[in-house]
Amino acid sequence: MKEFDFLKLKASLLVEGIGYEQGALEGLGTQFKEQNHGLFGWDFEDHVGQALPDDFLLPDGTVVQFRLNSASPYRVMGTGEQRMLFHDQEEVCPVSWIKRPAFYDKCTTTGHKMVRIGQIGGEDCLFFCYQNYCSHFSRHKQCLFCNLVSTSKTYGSVLRKKDTEIIGEVAQAAWAEGKVNHVLLTGGCFGEQKEVEIVSHIVTAIRQYTGFDRVPGTILPSPAKGDNIKRYFDTGIQAIGFSMEIWDERLYEAICPGKSEATSHSEFVESIRTAVRVFGEGNVYGIFVMGLEPRSTFLEGVKALANEGANVVPFVWSPNPGSHLAGHRAPTAEWFADVIREAADIFSDSGVPAGTENHCYRCDGNNLLHDALREKNIE
Ligand code: SF4
């Protein structure tokens, strides 16, 4: 096999999307893990009725999100253990689908299929969206990149609202298989007090069903302030993240009209500062959509948050169907690879703990930072 820059290949697959030969999907939904659209849809085009892989592995273990684009030069061909990635007619490297968790076929005591409650991101991150709802849509002030409502309407594949007890049951079943290492919890927009209460019930249920004293993983709540940050810590979750989306203040206001009205840039920074005091350095994340603002402001945000003792999770933007930015184009793979390597330099120089016990390179295929840190043996 040729030498590859796997990080750049991953960036390219996220920016260009990927197609497939029908035979390459053999075993999907039985032997291999399929997409379940727990929150957003990341494909370039909808695919109702066609099961597709959620993500896949490159030969060095890099996890890549599968983003369907039938016009992409990338295509997966072959069957069995012989799946190969092609770029146009040229062979690139072997790829493997990820094994489907056995709990996906189990049912909760309430009779719900567990896969409709929680799904695995990448290889080891158990994801729960406790409510697929966001009030910014009804006021036409949703973030320009977001397709939460259209994804839910198009696929309807997950329960929109989940009972806290059954989340505990799913966590127990998932951990029992020995593959899950972290949870990721998020919900739509709530009243702050109500959300703290719901999260507290959920984390308590997960602790009861798994036996953890503190649950390894991250909560991404609606913007929380002051005392509520301590309340989230008291639920027993190890890490917290704040979805700032865009660092540049004016771009943030333009791209996230509803969210920026509710929570300003400086309020987010203040909340992150408070959260680092409460959760500890490395256990707090700023979540960004990478590719919608200039390199300079994105890296300014990375530096500022590293100085606060926080980490970042920058998702590679995809022009998702159903979002206002559908049909646009992301920056090049070279841009993503260069910028993320500079971000990794900033983090490794900063001394902020990488927090990989809560979120790691195996968790999600749509973020390049863990891969860039892994190149520096930080994993
Ligand atoms: S806050 Fe923005 S990104 Fe989050 S669900 Fe609402 S519209 Fe989507």
Local confidence band at 17 (pLDDT 50, 70, 90 cut-offs): very high
pLDDT at 191: 66
**Does pLDDT of 2 surpass 60?**
no
Tokens of 96: 């493997």
For a pocket test of ligand 1, which of 142, 252, 261, 323 has the largest count of ligand atoms closer than 8 A to its C-beta?
Answer: 142
Architecture in CATH of 102-374: Alpha-Beta Barrel (3.20)
151 lines ligand 1 (CB under 6 A): no
pLDDT at 1: 43
246 lines ligand 1 (CB under 6 A): no
For ligand 1, the distance from its centroid to the CA atom of residue 143, given in whole angstroms, is 6
pLDDT at 158: 66
Local confidence band at 247 (pLDDT 50, 70, 90 cut-offs): very high
Mark residue 327 as left, alpha or beta (left: phi above 0; alpha: psi -120 to 50; beta: remaining). Answer: left
pLDDT at 324: 96
For ligand 1, the distance from its centroid to the CA atom of residue 222, given in whole angstroms, is 9
* Dihedral angle of Cα 250, 255, 259, 265, to the nearest 10 degrees: -30
**Does pLDDT of 174 surpass 50?**
yes
For ligand 1, the distance from its centroid to the CA atom of residue 228, given in whole angstroms, is 20
Distance CA 115, CA 371 (A): 27
What residues does CATH 3.20.20.70 cover in the chain?
102-374
**Does pLDDT of 213 surpass 80?**
yes
Local confidence band at 160 (pLDDT 50, 70, 90 cut-offs): low
265 lines ligand 1 (CB under 6 A): no
pLDDT tens sequence across 334-343: 999 999 999 9
For ligand 1, the distance from its centroid to the CA atom of residue 32, given in whole angstroms, is 30
Q: Counting atoms of ligand 1 from 1, which one is nearest the CA of 245?
A: 3
190 lines ligand 1 (CB under 6 A): no
For a pocket test of ligand 1, which of 146, 260, 289, 325 has the largest count of ligand atoms closer than 8 A to its C-beta?
Answer: 146
Amino acid occupying residue 260: S
Q: What is the 3-state secondary structure (H, E, C) of the chain?
A: CCCCCHHHHHHHHHHHCEEECHHHHCCECCCECECCCCCCCCCCCCCCCCCCECEEECCCCCEEECCECCCCCEEEECCCCCCEEEECCEEEEECEECECCHHHHCECCCCCEHHHCEEEECCCEEEEEEECCCCCCCCCCCCCCCCHHHHHHHHCCCCCECCHHHHHHHHHHHHHCCCCCEEEEEECCCCHHHHHHHHHHHHHHHHHHHCCCCEEEEEECCCCCCHHHHHHHHHCEEEEEEEEECCCHHHHHHHCHHHHHHCCHHHHHHHHHHHHHHHCCCCEEEEEEECCCCHHHHHHHHHHHHHHCCEEEEEECCCCCCCCCCCCCCCCHHHHHHHHHHHHHHHHHHCCCCCCCCCCCCCCCCECHHHHHHCCCCC
237 or 49, greater pLDDT: 237
For a pocket test of ligand 1, which of 148, 151, 220, 246 has the largest count of ligand atoms closer than 8 A to its C-beta?
Answer: 148
pLDDT at 328: 96
Local confidence band at 188 (pLDDT 50, 70, 90 cut-offs): low
Local confidence band at 75 (pLDDT 50, 70, 90 cut-offs): very high
Q: Which of 7-11, 37-41, 254-258 has the lowest mean pLDDT?
A: 37-41
pTM of the predicted protein model: 0.95
Atom 8 of ligand 1: nearest residue by CA position: 146
pLDDT at 235: 95
39 lines ligand 1 (CB under 6 A): no
What average pLDDT does this structure show over 54-69?
Answer: 97
149 lines ligand 1 (CB under 6 A): no
For ligand 1, the distance from its centroid to the CA atom of residue 213, given in whole angstroms, is 31
Q: How far is CA 173 from CA 13, 16, 126, 177, 199, in A?
A: 32, 36, 11, 7, 20
For ligand 1, the distance from its centroid to the CA atom of residue 144, given in whole angstroms, is 9
pLDDT tens sequence across 323-375: 999 999 999 999 999 999 999 999 999 999 999 999 999 998 999 999 999 99
Mean pLDDT of the chain: 93
Atom 2 of ligand 1: nearest residue by CA position: 143
